[in-house]
Amino acid sequence: MKARRKRYLPGPPGVPPAQLSQLFQALARAAAAAALGSTAACSQLQGDGEVGQAVPRGAAGGISSALAEGWTQFSCGESGTLALGPLMPTRDLDYLGLYDQVNNEFVGNSAFEVATHGSRCATAAAPGDCQTMLAELTAPTPNCTLGTACPSFAVETTGDDAARIFDPAELPALLGTIDTPGEAVAVAHLSGQKLQCGDTIFDTLGTAMRASDAGFELRTDWHDCGVGVFPHTVEVDAEGNVEVLEDRQTDVSNCTVGRRPPGLRAALPRLGHSRLGTFFASAAHLEAASVHSFERLARELKGAGAPRALIAEASVAALDEVRHARVVTALARRFGGQPAPVELDTTPRCARREC
């Protein structure tokens, strides 16, 4: 009678299913422990990015402590645009908008309004012509190339006239002495200051101001999902000079958007009517792609002989991603965005040089 050969399910060469099962269970326990630990404390980054002692989230920094230090947040609209508030320009001014540009694989070459004052073309004799001119001036510039830091700009309209401004040195001619917080924000933004609304979910202040001896201090605490939390503080004096006071990473990120499956094709940009619409559209695309990732993970776990409970968790995670995709798609459409369909390259991984 021939001896029966042991059959191992696909997995690392020479590793029996029993050992794989033990490995999976150990990994699951470690993951659970890490998840519990992250709810109680977060690693704090200090100075030039060294990891300091872990502290409970909210024990240092955050919105409440910043407000206690005298910072005042700028109000934000539904589309995530800061309100500049009162301005004291040298002449009548219908509208002043501050814009960011970005060029990446998700949104292409795009420009977004990040702060605003007044009403576009409010006193124009020919509003249609003014709006056409405004559309040209708020379009992204051709020199904003893929993967580069693209310049911010301002756009202003008065009557039938409109202009785009890149150089912060040109703003005092329009705004006069920089004597309001909104004027300081305009100068700082064209000098490189990031503008962002506060975020209560991640307890980040967003853009805030407080008076200083020279004029105004402006601080933006922004959360870069998957990277970290960054406060950036500048001081703007009455003549429009900008001095950087703080620029560092103070905390790590605890979020991510989507789990990319192998072979995910780059989505063609589908720009929303607002910055939020475009963001949620790209996020919804990645959430939908995550469904394929967890379905694949469940198949691979089963093939490797993982415990049934672990396989079931991967399947449940796939269903969660279906729900996430629906919710984020609804948010995208609410703000004028439309997610691109998920397309996967089914070419074997080795043929794509991924192995």
Is the pLDDT confidence value at 286 over 70?
yes
Q: What is the pLDDT of residue 262?
A: 79
Q: Residue 132 and residue 312: Cα distance in Å, rounded? A: 55
Q: What is the pLDDT of residue 40?
A: 29
Place of tokens 């191992």: 8
Cα 203 from Cα 223, distance rounded (Å): 9
Strand order in the sheet with 153-158: 82-83, 108-118, 95-104, 153-158, 161-165
Give the residue ranges of DSSP H helices in the chain: 17-40, 62-68, 127-137, 171-175, 181-190, 275-303, 308-334
Task: Report pLDDT for 4.
Answer: 40
Q: Report whether 190 contacts 171 (CB < 8 A).
A: yes
Whether the per-residue pLDDT at 49 is higher than 70: the answer is no
Exposure class string for 13-33: b at 16+ Cβ within 10 A, else e = eeeeeeebeeebeeeeeeeee
Kind plus residue range of the DSSP H or E element containing 164:
strand 161-165
Angle at Cα 178 formed by Cα 176 and Cα 182, nearest 5°?
A: 110
118, 96 Cβ separation under 8 angstroms: yes
Measured CA to CA, the distance from residue 260 to residue 100 in angstroms comes to 27
Q: Tell me the C-alpha distance between 121 and 128, whole Å.
A: 9
Residue 85 neighbours by CB under 8 Å, 6+ apart: 74, 75, 117, 180, 181, 182
pTM to 2 decimal places? 0.59
pLDDT for 156: 96
The two structure tokens encoding residue 269: 């940009």
Q: What is the mean pLDDT of residues 216-242?
A: 84
- Residue 350 has a pLDDT of 53
Mean pLDDT of 187-209: 84
Q: What is the pLDDT of residue 60?
A: 41
Instruction: Decide: 85 and 117 in contact? Cβ < 8 Å.
Output: yes
Q: Residue 68 pLDDT more than 50?
A: yes
**Per-residue pLDDT, 133:** 95
In the predicted model, what is the mean pLDDT of the chain? 76
Most confident option among 123-132, 226-235, 282-291, 321-330: 123-132
Top pLDDT among 18 and 337 is at 337
Report the length, in residues, of the chain.
Answer: 355
Neighbour-count burial for 318-337, b at 16+ CB within 10 Å, e otherwise:
beebeebbeebbebbbebbb
**How far apart, in whole angstroms, are the C-alpha atoms of residue 266 and residue 269?**
9
7, two tokens: 């059959």
Specify whether the CB–CB gap between 206 and 74 falls below 8 A. Answer: yes
